[in-house]
Every structure is written in structure tokens, then in C-alpha cells.
Structure 1
């Protein structure tokens, strides 16, 4: 990052977009698009919305995909301060249609591939305008003209992004991230890479987090810093590694599932040699996984902690803090970011807990507001201000009065040499209320452990009430578009 992101990110983003000119800006499907091509496309979208009957400040929804037209639309909307509401494309046509009809926004943008009869009908029923986006060639079309009288939730008229939570513990919720807050969000995405002097030969940013979630700020960060970007429609080991190797990328973002995929694929160390570090989050990083990855590739993992409600991370490692303290604090997610305060409170009394004590994490993000937001995450903070997570309080399984944290059981299961990853959830039990159930995904080519073997592993490491009532082996754990394991889908695998 060349300099801290300014508070007025809309102006900075607009200036950044104008700076590329004929130079390459976005690579997608191994083809480069110049800055001028992207800005011309943004102008086409603006003209199509005007033709369809929308004012320049009215909110629009986008059935979002990680493709060039969608990237251009989002960048243009934030730069012009038009509110943009994310609608997941990773759902059925009927579900997309229901979302669109319920939102009743002035305008809906969708890829030409997503303009199903269901979507067309929902847009007409809501009185919304419909805009089709096409990538090859870049084109925009008015599919449905806005009808008078369409109404929407007034809260959606706030400029900025209305993004979706990951939906790991229930249906995704929309969280507003105002334009003024986006500077914090972009900072939280980039602080792990430290201070980077950006020039014409600077390696591009690698962008692949789903645009519907907070990961969309990977997209915003690149033009704010004046960097080119390589866009992937979704994470793919071969394409991710190709981008790193081809463009000599020095920093990128990851999460635990991606680290396991890279290890499982036995990616050559030379292919990742340009990486100076990887910023991470979206889940706990086990010490064993950190040790295995850093030992094999020699790449430091700078973990962070945040949530959609905080518009990004609230704690993170920086290269400097990692050099000084990383070896001594391998389980930590770093220190609070600039403009953020974090405290640990006793879950029963609400009193601030002493250093080293475990309690509920609360955070206050200055740019969002003065209120402390209490999370369901259990954490501790040491005397140096470093935060360590200890699992989620809301996911605790109550087995006949005994509390079990799923992450505690999961950590034992993944210690088995054949287990790549595991998911642990509570399932109903007529006698005890809840009991733990586990699903495990095995390493490629590994021996297949028996269910009793896995249960015994837990029994030897933890009190007996932690032993899952059942352990099933699956080809792949069910994950959402952000590669987070879906607890509800794990529970659905249980057969009493």
C-alpha cells in the first residue's frame, strides 16, 4: 500500500480509475482490459440506468459474479456514490427472483447468463428496471424499463455497499457499509502487506473473494493504491498459482481452506517463491497448519480477525509486528487496527476482563460509530495488546449441561494424519438435548481411519462428553462461496 487510504474513498477511487488510461488494469480469463475499457464500460452502465428511468443517486441491486462487467459496475457505483445492494448469484433462480422481488429496488443488474424467466418476472413484478451485463464483448443492455411506483427499504438508499454475511450460521444478512466506512475496510484488507511503493512494474493484486461479501474490498483496494489486478471468478488452485508465478505477486489474501488446498495439491515451492507473505482470516488458523505451511514454503502467514458487522478486520498482524512478536505469539490474530479499540469482557458481568483472561470480544470502530459491538467470539488479550481467539460462544453444544466448543473437538480431529479438515456441530438428542456430530474430509491418498479410531482420538485428548456421537467421512466438506464450512449442511449429514 503506497499510503493510507483517504477518508473520501469515492474521490480516491474515481481518480484511481482515471489514472490507468490505455495501460492494463484488469486481467480476467488470461486477457487484459485497459483502464479506458473499464471506464467506458462504467459510462455505458450509467447511460443504461438513465435510459431505464433511474436518477444518478438511486440504489441498484446487482446479481453479483466475479466477472469484469460486475467489477466495473461496483467500482463505478462506489466512485459515483450510488448505493449498490449485493444479491448472491450462488443460489437457485427461484431464490434470486424472491430476493429481487422483496427488495423492490429501482434497478437490477445481472449477467446475461442470469436473466432467467424467473428473474425477468420478478423484476417486472417489482417495477424495477433491468440491466443486462455481458463480458465478451463488454456490452450493456436495458432488459426491462422501470415502472413508476416501485418502492424499496429507505435504508438501502445509503451510499456505499450493502453486502452479505457469509451465512455460515444461518441465512446471509445484508450489512450496510457506508462510503465513509470503506476506507477502514480497504485498510483492513491491505495493512498486512505493510508499506509498498507502487510503480508501473509493481505486481498486480490478486482478487478472488466473492464480490457479494466483505471480500469485495479486495477489488476496491487495487485502484485506490494504483495497482493492476488479476481477477478470478472463483478460487482455483491452478489459476491462483499461475497468477502468482506469472506476475511474481508478492502479497495475497488466503484463508485456512486455501492453505490446505495448496498443501494437498503439493504446489512446488518455486511456484510461490515471489510471495513475501500471505494475509489471512475468515477462520481460525491452527498452529499445526501454520507450522506445516510456513515450513514447506517459507512464507509467513499474517492472520487477522474481523466480521462483516465491523466492515472488515479489527485486529491484524503487520510485517513489522510479525518480525518482532510472531515467533512468541503464533496463535494470535495481531493487534487492533488504527481507529479500532478492542476489549475482552466477562460474559456474565460485562466487566472488562484482566489481561490473559478469556471472555467475549467487543470492538469499537471509530468510523462506524461510538458504540461497542459485542461479538459471540471468545478471546483474550495479553499485556502487549495481542488478541487470541478461543472459539465461538454461540456455537457451544450443551450436552446434558456440559458445554462443548466445536472448535475444540475439531482441533483434535484434524490432528489425525489422514484428516485434512473437519466440521463439528451440535445435533438434537432426546435425552441430552444436544450431542456433538462430526464430518471429516481426508487428505488425498491417505489411509481411511475407522470411526472408532477417530472417536478414540477425541476420547484420549478431551473429557468423554466431547466424543462425537457419530463421525462420517465425506469427499468434501460442504462450503459456501467464501469456502467457509456450512454448519447446517454438516448437521444434515447426521443420521440418528
Structure 2
């Protein structure tokens, strides 16, 4: 392969052809070998090059967690094209309008998804039967596209938007800062990873590409489901697993024992805030430390996190932090005018991601944060989600965290609702753990001793399940919509909350 080929493309080709008979992906109890992936990936690569326009090939993939979709992803990258991530679960009309606006030269997906969401006139190719038919050698003749993936953000607070992730950025994340000179593996890894993060989210893309770059076989789960995840852990005995906070709480409050997780030495957790109390409870119950992290699609992955050594030395005094800068990232906290603030002072977080190189510009986030003298980062909430109730600032994460300390609460989401007198008030949606009971009045009483009066939600809705984005975060747009409609839920009215908090509180 030419030396001009990007290191990430070269690495993918090297791994796919390293040991064709070695296991690569287990899905639904069946193993696919690296060789079984290589032929179909080569066909997708040829298809990608054939649909290039002016040297660019933005190829849409209606992404789901299946080996065919992983293979299609690798094929588009192998051709030097751009994977345009499309979530077929967002709703047919929205997805069809999205694809119409994108005007892609080709969309890949399963037949049902293609029929349901792709507008007439858009070229498509089905992934059904991808693993049958001729298997040409995996030989890349890549385009010179700079953008590897046009990734959807989670859409937590509004419509998802697309972020361009370059080949350099992805290679830095999944191979390492020295990706240009890093040697390819000379043999497949023996340990089996478990991937339950969705491919339509940066977490799933990172996990899958990291496994491929390391020639590490992995179990691919369609989604996180406790029984299938636990079965994979018991069978393959991974040393490390990754759980988003909602999944971690499911494991924490399940019937699983330390024996079920006997092989696991560490759990990593990201994508959403995790309460320190949950991390401590998990450690106490299973004897496994939880290493939290901070990442964003815009950064191409993580920029801060806990190492195991830091956890041993600092967790007792710095619990609740998301760790220190990693991967060459730089962090600082600034005032509204951009002036850097000293350690301990809260402000807006700015990041210079290592994935963008040593000369990366500072990127201002909407996260309120503070840094201490040792470089540990605390995320205090989202500045753009702060609720101003009668002049008092309410951070939704503080309210959510307090609710999730109730023994019956599996998860919570807190948003603002307009109020004619106070401007806006917090309202909360709560999902209970299986086999438990709590009503809105009980939860409101529970919050009285834990929050200021103005922080207590004006309404608490008990629902069977909180709507979530593909990454497991609460879908706050859907939560807001819930509070504008009449639902069969238990609530405490705004008038009741006023009596609870007292007018003097706001």
C-alpha cells in the first residue's frame, strides 16, 4: 500500500488482512472472522469510490449495531470516504427530511430502513447479504478526503447536529498521539472486549475502531441489555468494561454478584454525569473502581478522565471530579469575558483537544466547571441549561443528582418550564427502579432536606421510562415536550411547589 495512504486507513487494512481466520466480531452467538469482514469491506470501498464526486465521497449509513454496519463503516473509511452517520431511529419523517437536505450520493442500510426513511431518488445499497457473494482482496486505493466521519451529536438539548471528525483526529483517538509512526499489531489480541455503545454515537465509533486498530476481537451488542451484557462478561471475562451512567445504575441495582463480574478490574463511564455516590456504591458492592471521563463529539473523544493510579491516590479527596487532562488535551476555566480564572473558581470550560494536535485552538464549551491546583476537573452543569427561577440560578444536574440519591429512583431528568411569575421553574421526570414505589409527593419531601427551596421542582412526573438519546443521555427535548402535554402521570403542581419552597425562596 502506498506510503501516502493515511495511517488510519493503512491500519484498518493491515488488521483486516493480518489473520483472516481469527475471530473478529461475535454477534448473536456467532463469530465473524477478520477475513469475513475484509471481503465485504472491500466491496463497500469499491462502491464508495464509484460514488465519489470531485474526489469526495460522503456516504450515508443508517447505522445500527450489527456486523454488516461495522463492515460498511470500515469499507467507507478504507476508500478514504466520509461516513455520514444517520440514525434511523429518530423517526421516518425527520430522517427523510435530513437525508433530503444532505443530498448524499449513496445511502447504505438494511432494506427495511432504506424503504422507511430514504427519499425517492436517493441512490441506495442494501447491506442485506453483505457476507455472501464474492470476496475480493482488501486493497485500498483511497480518496484524499480529510473528513472521516460526519458524526451526529447526541441531541440531548435540541436537534442533533453533525460534527466533522478528521482522519487525523480519529487516528489520534484510537491509535494514539504517535499514530503516524505506530506499528500495526503483528498478531490478533487474545482478550475479548464488549461493545454496547451505539455506532450512531461517538462512543460506539470510538470503541469499534479502537478494537479494530488493536486487532482485538469484540462482542457487539445491539444495545445495552442487562442479561445479554452479563452473559458476555461471564463468558469472555474482560478486564475492563464501559458503562454509561444509566447502564451502570442498572448493574448496580440488579441481582448480579461479584462472581458475575469476577474478571472485571475497572469500569469506565462517560457520556453523561455520574454521581459520586453511584461510583462509590458500585465500588463498595462489587469491589471495582469506576473511572469517569469527560468527552464530546466535537473533540473526537475524551479529553479528561481518571487513571487507576489517580483513583487510588486521589479519589477520597477528589470524588465527583471527572479526572485530569488526557491525550495531550489542555483545560482552562474562563470568565464570560474570556479571562482565565484561578484554580477553584467556577466558570466556563475551554478545551484545546489533543486530537487536534499540539497547536489546537481553545474551544469554549457550554459547561460550567472548575479546576483545582492538581488539575482535576469538576463539571458543575451546563451554562445553557441553567434555570433562572425568580432571579435564582438552578443547575439541573444538582436537582437530578439529588433525585437519584433516592433509593427508588433509577434515573431523572430536569428541565426548565416557562412561568408567568418567576420566568421559569424546574420540572423533573423520574423513572423508578423495578419493584420499588415512590410518588411525586414523597420525592418532593425527600428533596426538601437536600436542596434550597427554589431548586425543588415545580412538578415531578413519574414515567415508566425516560426518553433517551442513543448514547443513553436523557433526551431533554422530549422531556420538555412531555411537560407541555397532558399525560397520565403523578405530579405536584406549581402551586404545591410554591407552598413547599415558600415565596420568599424565589
Which bracket does the TM-score occupy, shorter chain normalised? Answer: 0.7 to 0.9
Matched, 1:395 2:388: no
Alignment partner, residue 315 of structure 1:
304
The normalised TM-score by structure 1 is 0.87
- Displacement of 1:298 in angstroms is 0.9
String of CA shifts for 1:263-303, please: whole Å, max 9, x gaps: 23221221111111111111111121111111111111111
Equivalent residues in 2 for 1:24-103 (5 A)?
Answer: 24-49=23-48, 57-103=56-102
Alignment partner, residue 132 of structure 1:
126
Equivalent residues in 2 for 1:339-354 (5 A)?
Answer: 339-347=328-336, 349-354=337-342
Alignment partner, residue 149 of structure 1:
none
Alignment partner, residue 157 of structure 2:
169
Equivalents in 2 of 1:265, 1:341: separation in Å?
38
Moved more, 27-36 or 107-116: 107-116
**Preserved contact between residue 210 and residue 482 of structure 1 (Cα < 8 Å):** yes
Query: In the superposition, relative to structure 1, how do residues 198 and 485 fare at CA in structure 2: closer, same or farther (>3 Å)?
Result: farther
Partner of 2:330: helix, strand, or coil? strand
Equivalent residues in 2 for 1:268-417 (5 A)?
Answer: 268-347=257-336, 349-368=337-356, 370-417=360-407
Alpha-carbon RMSD across the aligned residues, in angstroms, is 2.5
Alignment partner, residue 170 of structure 2:
182
Equivalents in 1 of 2:262, 2:187: separation in Å?
21
**Preserved contact between residue 426 and residue 436 of structure 1 (Cα < 8 Å):** yes
String of CA shifts for 1:3-59, please: whole Å, max 9, x gaps: xxx983222222122213111111111100111110011122234456678788522
Equivalents in 1 of 2:133, 2:195: separation in Å?
22
String of CA shifts for 1:444-465, please: whole Å, max 9, x gaps: 22232x3232222222222211
Query: In the superposition, relative to structure 1, how do residues 118 and 476 fare at CA in structure 2: closer, same or farther (>3 Å)?
Result: closer
Moved more, 361-370 or 372-381: 361-370
Moved more, 47-56 or 367-376: 47-56
Equivalents in 2 of 1:59, 1:319: separation in Å?
39
Query: Number of aligned pairs?
Result: 462
Instruction: Specify every segment of 5 or more residues in structure 2 that has no aligned partner in the other structure, as ranges.
Output: 135-143, 178-184, 487-492, 494-506
Matched, 1:208 2:196: yes
Equivalents in 1 of 2:401, 2:123: separation in Å?
49
The normalised TM-score by structure 2 is 0.86
Partner of 2:17: helix, strand, or coil? helix
Equivalents in 2 of 1:399, 1:336: separation in Å?
34
Query: In the superposition, relative to structure 1, how do residues 333 and 94 fare at CA in structure 2: closer, same or farther (>3 Å)?
Result: same
Equivalents in 2 of 1:412, 1:162: separation in Å?
36
1:242 to 231, 249, 261: 231
Matched, 1:253 2:242: yes
Partner of 1:66: helix, strand, or coil? coil
Alignment partner, residue 427 of structure 1:
417
- Displacement of 1:233 in angstroms is 1.3
Equivalents in 2 of 1:7, 1:274: separation in Å?
37
